[in-house]
Every structure is written in structure tokens, then in C-alpha cells.
Chain A
Amino acid sequence: MGDLKAARTRREFFVTAAGAAAFAVAPGAVQAEPADVAAAIEKAFGGKKAVEGKIKLDLPSIAENGLVVPLNFEVESPMTEGDYVKTVRLYAEGNPQPTLADYHFTPMSPKAAAQIRIRLAKTQNIVAVAETSKGEVYTTKKEVKVTIGGCGG
């Protein structure tokens, strides 16, 4: 008996979770595609070639709640007048709008780093692109699996 009850509860849970997921990706919602992100990066960085590396991007591998996903980044840089990270742009390949946030640092910033919380609609890649004052462009990406989407339907 106890098992039966447990099984039902589990089934109910899955039904509820599936319903919530369906709601999050309701038809009509326009989702960004990787090509949109590539085009946005191309536009923002003027076609400069991005090199993999230098950016540490921390996100959970699995996010149970897409409404609040912690994101932490840090770009390796001396952060001096002559050599600092000017801009860091963050993108989400599977959100209705691919842009997450853009950070503009100055030599007054001791670290090109920040911690924020973001919304993710579904399982997708997060892309970070950084540009230094010398014009070097670095990029990195990380996949986040999202159990329940957080962008509304």
C-alpha cells in the first residue's frame, strides 16, 4: 500500500513538472537560436575573432528552477590603465531574447568579475565574450540543463 501511494505521488509530480515545462515553452514564444547569438556577437564586437579561454564562467550544470540561476564570471586580466577588460557580454542561446547582460569595466575595477542571477527558458548554452582595452576578444561557453523553464509562456 505504502509503495502504491508513493508511486502515485511520484507520477503526480512528473505530470505537474511536464505541465510546467509545456507552459514555459508555450507556442508562439520566439526562441533565440545559436545563429542569433553568433549574429549578435558579430554585431557587438565588429567581427573581431574571438579566442577560446581567459574567461571563467561558473553556472550550475543542472538548474532545477530556470527563474533563478546563479551566474559567476571572471576574466583573467591585470586590470591596469594599459591593459584591462573593457566589456563582457553574456548571451543565452535558448532564451526568447538572447542577450543577458553587458558589463563595462574600467581600470578602477580591480577584477573583471561579477555574480548575478538569471532566467533561463530551457536547457541551453550560455556564452560569454570579453574584449580587452587592447582589442583582444575572448570567449567561452557552458551548457546548463534546465528542469523548469523561467521565462513565462
Chain B
Amino acid sequence: MTTPTPRVRMPATAKAGEVVEVKTLISHEMESGNRKDKDGKAIPRKIIKQFVAKFEGKEILKADWHPAISANPYQAFWVKVPASGTFTFEWTDDDGAVYKAEQKVTVG
């Protein structure tokens, strides 16, 4: 498996207090644990179990994902831009690995 690559799309500039949409995508197989290989053995579960979005370290939203989330999970949601600052996004894998992305947004 290749290393999951997160992608985030959101505006880099906004008006103070503006509500903007964030679209995220991460490449990941999201192995559900329900599938069997060709010898009939169960393929162990390996999914991204949590997604967190923060602004300047303060949590905006947290999502717990279960095996029913599709491969290469897509997640779109809304944030408010209170001031210039950095949004951070973290995806936590079943094996404990954390994949991170960030986006600076300038209010002007």
C-alpha cells in the first residue's frame, strides 16, 4: 500500500467571519474487515478511523468513521474564518499513523 496522500481544497483568502466550504480527500483503501481473500481468509480491517479539523489548534469538527466509509474517503464540510490563521486537518489510521494537511487562510 502506498502512503495515503491527503488533499484539501478551500479558499486561501476570505472576509472576516466568512463561512467557506472545505473539501478533503485522502487516498486510502479503507479495508472493511468484511472481505475475504481468494483462499477464503478474512482480510484484516484497516481503515482511517478518525478525521479532525482545527483552526489555530481549536477543534471545529471531529468525525469517527466506521468500515462503511468508501475507499479514498471524501469529506466536505463548512468552516468559519474568524481571522487570518491556519486550518489543520488530521486523519488517524487504525495502526496509529496520523496523516496531516494544513491550509493558511488570509483575511483581507
Contact = CB atoms under 8 A, between A and B. Distances in A.
Interface of A: 29, 67-69, 92, 95-97, 99-106, 108-111, 113-120, 150-153
Q: Is the interface of B mostly helix, strand, loop or mixed?
A: strand
A99 B69 CA distance: 10
Contact of A97 (B36, B66, B76, B79): B66
A106 B32 contact: no
A104 B69 contact: no
6 contacts: A101-B65, A103-B61, A105-B60, A110-B79, A113-B77, A116-B73
Contacts of A105: 60-61
Interface of B: 19, 32, 34-36, 55, 58-71, 73-80
B70 A114 contact: no
B37 to A, nearest CB: 11
A113 B35 CA distance: 31
